[in-house]
Chain A
Amino acid sequence: MARRYDSSTTTFSPEGRLHQVEYAIEAINNAGTSVGILAKDGVVMASEKKVTSGLLAPARTSEKTYKLCPHATCTVAGLTADANILIDQARLRAGRYAYQYQEPIPIENLVEHVCNYKQAYTQYGGLRPFGVAFLFAGYDIHHGFQLYQSDPSGNYSGWKATVIGANNQAGKSLLKTEYGSSSSSGDEMKTDENPAKDETEMPTTVEALRLAVKVLNKTMDGAAASPDKLELFAMTLDEDGNCVHKILNAKEVEAVIAEVESETATAGDS
Chain B
Amino acid sequence: KQYYHNRKMSILEYNGAAVIAMAGKDCVGIASDNRLGIQYQTVAMDFKKVFKMNDTLFVGLAGLATDVQTLDQLLRFRMNLYELREERTMTPQVFTNLLSNILYEKRFGPYFAEPVVAGLDEKGSPYLATMDLIGAIETTKDFVVSGTCDGNLYGMCETLYKPDLGKEELFETLAQALLASVDRDALSGWGGVVHIITKEGVMSRELKGRQD
Chain A residues within CB distance 8 Å of chain B: 61, 67-70, 88, 91-92, 95-96, 98-99, 102
CB distance from B73 to the nearest CB of A (A): 6
A-B pairs, top 9 by smallest CB distance, nearest first, are: A99-B77, A95-B77, A91-B84, A95-B81, A61-B87, A99-B73, A95-B80, A67-B84, A91-B81
B123 at the A interface (CB under 8 A): no
Distance in angstroms between the alpha carbons of A91 and B77 in the assembled complex: 10
User: Interface of chain B, helix or strand or loop or mixed?
Assistant: helix
B74 touches A99 (CB 8 A): yes
Write out the residue numbers on chain A whose beta carbons fall within 8 Å of the beta carbon of B5: none
5 A-B residue pairs with CB within 8 Å: A70-B80, A95-B77, A99-B73, A99-B77, A102-B73
> Which B residues are CB-close (under 8 A) to A91?
81, 84-85
Residue tally, chain B, CB below 8 Å to A: 9
Minimum Cβ distance to chain B for residue A166 (Å): 27
Interface residues in B46-91 (C-beta closer than 8 Å to A): 73-74, 76-77, 80-81, 84-85, 87
Residue of B nearest to A60 (CB): B87
Which residues from chain B contact A88 at a C-beta distance below 8 Å? Answer: 85
* A68 to B84 alpha-carbon distance, docked (Å): 7
Please give the distance in Å from A96's CB to the nearest CB on chain B. Answer: 7
Judge whether B84 and A98 touch: CB under 8 Å. no
Complex Cα distance, B87 from A70, in Å, reads 13
Partner of A92, one of B74, B81, B87: B81
CB neighbours (8 Å) of B85 from chain A are 88, 91
In the docked arrangement, what's the CA distance between A169 and B81, Å? 36
B87 touches A69 (CB 8 A): no
Taking the closest CB of chain A, its distance from the CB of B127, in whole angstroms, is 25
In the complex, residue of chain B having the shortest beta-carbon distance to the beta carbon of A70 = B80
User: Which B residue sits closest to A90, measured CB to CB?
Assistant: B84
By a CB distance below 8 angstroms, the chain B residues around A102 are 73
Report the Cα distance A219→B74, complex, angstroms: 44
> Which B residues are in CB contact (< 8 Å) with A61?
87
Contact A96 B77 (CB under 8 A): yes
